C-alpha cells in the first residue's frame, strides 16, 4: 500500500512559499501526497497544490493562524495528524515552519529531524539525508515511530509541477480551546533594493576581513553593479554589523547563485555549507591559507579593502552601471 | 524576575567534529569543549533583563563536562545552575531533549526561559519551541530585540524580509539570534565567584522522566550511515599585485554577469 505523506504548505502572502513546492515535489516520490495549509487564503492554493501532485488539501482558514505564531497551527496539525495518521509529515524549513513543527512534535509525541537535504522511502520506514560538519559528511538517519516529522532545507531539491488537477479541499477547524500564545502585533518590511538573497543570480558576501561595518558599503556598491544581493558570514552578523537575515551558512540561508563573491571570508565550514552549491565562486582574502581558496574557482590573495575599490572602478571604466 | 537560560557544551566549532565509529553519535567527551557561542547571547540577554536584582539560572543537559559551560555562564553573572547529566541520555533525539529540559525548567519555575535559536553543533533549532509546548507557554523565536514590561514580553522577530513585533504574556520562551547584544567577558571576580555558586544536579528520577523515552532507545531516529560528501575542487588562485581587478572583471565578463 502506498504511504501517506502529509506536507505542511506555507503561504507567502497569497502565493505558496517556494520551499513548499520543493517539498511537494519530493513528497510525490515517496507516496500519496496530501497537503495542509493553515492560512486565511488557504483555499486559493488548491490549484497550485494539485498541480504539484497532492490529491487533498486540508485547509484551515482561521485568521488566528496569521495573528498568532505557531501555537494554533501546531494544535490544528496535531489533531489532523491524530485523525489521518500519516506515515510521514514534511515541512520546508522556514522560520514559522520550524516553530510549528517543534510544537507539533512535543504536542503529539512525534520525532523530528531538522536540516534534511533529501528523504527516501524504505520498505517500511523513511530515511533522511543531512549533512554535518560543514557538509563534509552526509549522514543517513532512519526514522521510526508514528508520523515522523522532517524539516527540509530550502534549495536542497528541485520544484517540478506535474500538472495535476486541483486538490480536493477539506476544511479543518482550529481545535476548541487551542491556546493562541504569542501574537504578531505588526510586520515591518525592511527597505530593500535589488534581488532577494535567496533568489539573486549574484551574491556578494562579506566577512571579518572587511574590518568595519561601514565597509559593507563597498559590497553594496559591487552588488548593485552586478545586480546581486549582499550576504554575510556568521562572524559579522554576530558582531551586529548586518542583520541575521543576511547570514549565509549553516545557521543562516543556503544560496545557490550563478556567482558567489566571498570578500574577506575565511571559509569556515559554518559558512561554506550555505554557499558551496554556487555555480562559480570568487574569493578575495589576504590569507593564502584560508580554506575558502580550496573551493573557489578564482581566488585573489590580497587586501579586500584594496581589491574591492579597484574592482568597482574597473567595472565602471568598462561601462557597467548596475 | 527569575530568568532561566539554556546553555550547551559543544565541541570547539573551529575544530573538526567527530562521530563515534560504532554508534555514529557525536563524540562529546574528547578535545576542547566550549560554551556554544550562540548561548553567550542568551546568557547576556538574561543578565541584562535581570539587571542586577533578578536571578539568572543556567540550565544544561550534557556530559559531565557541561559543568564547565554552566560555570562559564556563572562567571558571566548567572547566580545558579542546573546540570542534567546521565549516561542514559546519550543519543536522545530533539523531542527527548526537550522533555528533559522542560522538566528541569519546571523545577526552576522562571518567569522567562531564554535560549539561542539553534545550537552550533546540531543546529536542529526545535528544542526551545518544543519545551514551550510541553510547558504550555508561548514561544517567541528569532528575537533580534527583546524587552520585558510588567507581565509582557515583546520581541522583534526576524523574518525573511524584516521583522515582526511579537508579544506574549509571561512565563514564556524566547530564542535570541546572534548579534542581539554584545556578550560580556567573565571577570576574574566572576570566575572566582562561579566556583562557589549553587549547582543542582537532578537525576532523571528527580525530574520524573521515564528512562525508556530518552537516549538511543527512546529516540525515534537512528543514524544508519555516514559517508564523506563530494567536495568542490579549487581553481586558480592569484596574488594581488595591483592588477587583480582586471582579472576579476574579465572573469565576471566570461561568466556573463557584466
Write the CA distances from B238 to A59, A169, A303, B97, integer angstroms. 56, 59, 13, 48
Shortest CA distance to A237 belongs to which of A228, A225, A248? A248
- Residue-wise pLDDT tens digits, B230-244: 888 889 999 999 899
Cβ atoms of residues A3 and A121 within 8 Å: yes
φ and ψ at B75, to 5 degrees?
Answer: -65, -30
Best residue in A77, A102, A116, A263 to probe B by mutation, most B CBs within 10 Å?
Answer: A102
B226 contacts in A (CB within 8 Å)? 137-140
What cell does B114 get? 531564554
Mean pLDDT of A99-104: 98
Cβ atoms of residues B45 and B184 within 8 Å: no
> Which pLDDT belongs to residue A21?
98
Cβ atoms of residues A202 and A227 within 8 Å: yes
Quickly state the pLDDT bin for B39 (edges 50, 70, 90). very high
Distance from CA of B196 to the nearest CA of A (A): 31
- Residue-wise pLDDT tens digits, A168-191: 999 999 999 999 999 999 999 987
- Residue-wise pLDDT tens digits, A143-160: 999 999 999 999 999 999
Cβ atoms of residues B112 and B142 within 8 Å: no
Helix (H, G, I), strand (E, B) or coil at A260: strand
Cβ atoms of residues A6 and A84 within 8 Å: yes
Mean pLDDT taken over chain B: 94
> Which pLDDT belongs to residue B222?
95
Mean pLDDT of B206-224: 96
What cell does A292 get? 575558502
Reply yes or no on whether the pLDDT at B161 is more than 90: no
> Which pLDDT belongs to residue B53?
83
State the DSSP H helix or E strand holding residue B95, giving kind and residue range, or none if neither.
Answer: helix B94-108
Quickly state the pLDDT bin for A266 (edges 50, 70, 90). very high
Shortest CA distance to A307 belongs to which of B72, B251, B224? B251
CA distance B230 to B87: 35
B248 contacts in A (CB within 8 Å)? 282, 284, 298, 300, 307, 311, 314
What cell does B213 get? 523515552
Query: What's the complex ipTM?
Result: 0.94
> Which pLDDT belongs to residue A132?
82
A117 in B contact zone (CB under 8 Å): no
Comparing alpha-carbon positions, the chain B residue that sits nearest to A247 is B178
CA distance A288 to A300: 9
Helix (H, G, I), strand (E, B) or coil at B158: strand
> Which pLDDT belongs to residue A234?
93
Helix (H, G, I), strand (E, B) or coil at A161: coil
State the DSSP H helix or E strand holding residue A77, giving kind and residue range, or none if neither.
Answer: helix A71-84
DSSP assignment of A194-217 equals SS-TTT-SEEEEE-GGG-SGGGHH
Quickly state the pLDDT bin for B152 (edges 50, 70, 90). very high
> Which pLDDT belongs to residue A243?
84
- Residue-wise pLDDT tens digits, A46-92: 999 999 999 999 999 999 999 999 999 999 999 999 999 999 999 99
A281 contacts in B (CB within 8 Å)? 232
Bridge-based pairing of strands A298-301 and A259-263 is unpaired
CA distance A233 to A263: 10
Which of A264-278, B80-94, B128-142 is the least confident region? A264-278
CA distance B62 to B87: 9
Comparing alpha-carbon positions, the chain B residue that sits nearest to A182 is B168
A176 in B contact zone (CB under 8 Å): no
Q: How many beta-carbon pairs under 8 angstroms link A with B?
A: 300
> Which pLDDT belongs to residue B179?
85
Are A141 and B231 a contacting pair at CB < 8 A?
Answer: no
CA distance A2 to A33: 10
Reply yes or no on whether the pLDDT at A322 is more than 80: no
What cell does B207 get? 525530574
Quickly state the pLDDT bin for A269 (edges 50, 70, 90). confident
Shortest CA distance to A299 belongs to which of A264, A270, A268? A264
Cβ atoms of residues A178 and B234 within 8 Å: no
Amino acid at each position: 500500500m502506498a504511504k501517506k505523506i502529509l506536507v505542511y504548505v506555507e503561504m507567502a502572502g497569497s502565493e505558496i512559499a517556494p520551499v513548499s513546492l520543493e517539498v511537494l515535489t519530493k513528497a510525490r516520490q515517496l507516496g500519496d501526497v496530501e497537503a495542509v495549509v493553515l492560512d486565511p487564503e488557504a483555499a486559493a492554493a488548491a490549484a497550485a497544490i494539485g498541480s504539484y501532485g497532492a490529491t487533498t488539501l486540508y485547509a484551515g482558514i482561521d485568521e488566528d493562524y496569521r495573528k498568532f505564531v505557531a501555537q494554533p497551527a501546531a494544535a490544528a496539525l496535531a489533531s489532523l495528524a491524530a485523525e489521518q495518521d500519516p506515515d510521514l509529515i514534511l515541512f520546508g524549513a522556514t522560520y514559522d515552519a520550524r516553530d510549528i513543527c517543534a510544537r507539533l512534535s512535543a504536542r503529539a509525541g512525534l520525532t523530528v529531524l531538522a536540516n534534511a537535504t533529501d528523504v527516501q522511502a524504505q520498505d517500511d520506514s523513511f530515511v533522511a539525508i543531512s549533512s554535518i560538519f560543514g557538509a563534509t559528511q552526509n549522514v543517513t538517519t532512519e526514522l521510526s515511530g508514528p508520523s515522523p516529522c522532517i524539516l527540509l532545507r530550502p534549495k536542497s531539491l528541485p520544484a517540478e509541477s506535474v500538472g495535476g488537477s486541483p486538490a480536493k479541499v477539506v476544511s479543518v477547524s482550529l481545535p476548541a480551546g487551542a491556546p493562541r500564545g504569542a501574537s504578531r502585533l505588526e510586520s515591518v518590511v525592511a527597505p530593500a533594493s535589488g534581488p532577494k538573497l535567496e533568489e539573486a543570480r549574484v551574491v556578494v558576501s562579506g566577512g571579518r576581513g572587511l574590518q568595519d561595518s561601514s565597509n559593507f558599503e563597498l559590497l553594496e556598491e559591487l552588488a548593485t553593479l552586478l545586480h546581486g544581493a549582499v550576504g554575510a558570514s556568521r562572524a559579522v552578523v554576530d558582531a551586529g554589523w548586518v542583520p541575521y537575515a543576511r547570514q549565509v551558512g549553516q545557521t543562516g540561508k543556503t544560496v545557490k547563485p550563478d556567482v558567489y563573491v566571498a570578500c574577506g571570508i575565511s571559509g569556515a565550514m559554518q559558512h561554506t555549507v550555505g554557499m558551496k552549491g554556487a555555480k562559480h565562486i570568487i574569493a578575495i582574502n589576504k590569507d593564502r591559507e584560508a580554506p575558502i581558496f580550496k573551493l573557489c574557482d578564482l581566488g585573489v590573495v590580497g587586501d579586500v579593502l584594496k581589491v574591492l575599490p579597484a574592482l568597482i572602478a574597473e567595472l565602471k571604466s568598462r561601462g557597467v552601471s548596475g | 524576575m527569575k530568568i532561566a537560560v539554556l546553555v550547551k557544551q559543544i565541541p570547539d566549532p573551529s575544530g573538526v567534529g567527530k562521530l563515534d565509529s560504532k554508534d555514529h553519535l557525536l563524540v562529546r567527551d574528547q578535545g576542547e569543549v566550549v560554551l556554544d557561542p550562540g548561548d553567550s547571547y542568551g546568557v547576556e540577554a538574561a543578565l541584562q533583563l535581570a539587571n542586577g536584582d533578578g536571578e539568572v539560572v543556567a540550565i544544561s543537559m550534557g556530559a559531565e563536562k557541561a559543568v564547565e559551560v554552566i560555570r562559564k555562564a556563572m562567571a558571566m553573572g548567572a547566580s545558579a545552575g542546573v546540570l542534567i547529566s546521565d549516561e542514559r541520555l546519550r543519543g536522545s533525539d530533539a523531542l527527548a531533549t526537550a522533555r528533559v529540559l522542560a522538566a528541569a525548567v519546571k523545577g526552576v519555575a522562571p518567569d522567562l526561559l531564554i535560549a539561542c535559536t539553534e545550537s552550533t553543533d546540531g543546529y536542529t533549532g526545535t528544542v526551545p519551541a518544543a519545551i514551550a509546548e510541553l510547558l504550555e507557554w508561548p514561544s517567541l523565536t528569532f528575537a533580534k530585540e527583546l524587552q520585558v514590561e510588567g507581565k509582557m514580553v515583546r520581541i522583534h522577530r526576524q523574518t525573511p524580509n524584516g521583522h515582526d513585533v511579537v508579544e506574549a504574556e509571561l512565563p514564556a520562551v524566547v530564542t535570541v539570534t546572534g548579534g542581539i547584544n554584545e556578550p560580556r567577558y567573565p571577570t576574574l571576580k566572576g570566575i572566582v565567584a562561579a566556583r562557589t555558586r549553587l549547582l543542582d544536579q537532578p537525576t532523571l528520577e528527580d525530574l520524573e522522566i521515564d528512562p525508556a523515552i530518552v537516549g538511543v532507545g527512546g529516540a525515534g531516529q537512528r543514524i544508519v550511515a555516514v559517508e564523506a560528501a563530494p567536495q568542490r575542487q579549487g581553481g586558480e588562485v592569484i596574488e594581488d599585485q595591483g592588477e587583480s581587478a582586471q582579472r576579476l572583471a574579465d572573469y565576471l565578463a566570461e561568466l556573463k554577469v557584466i
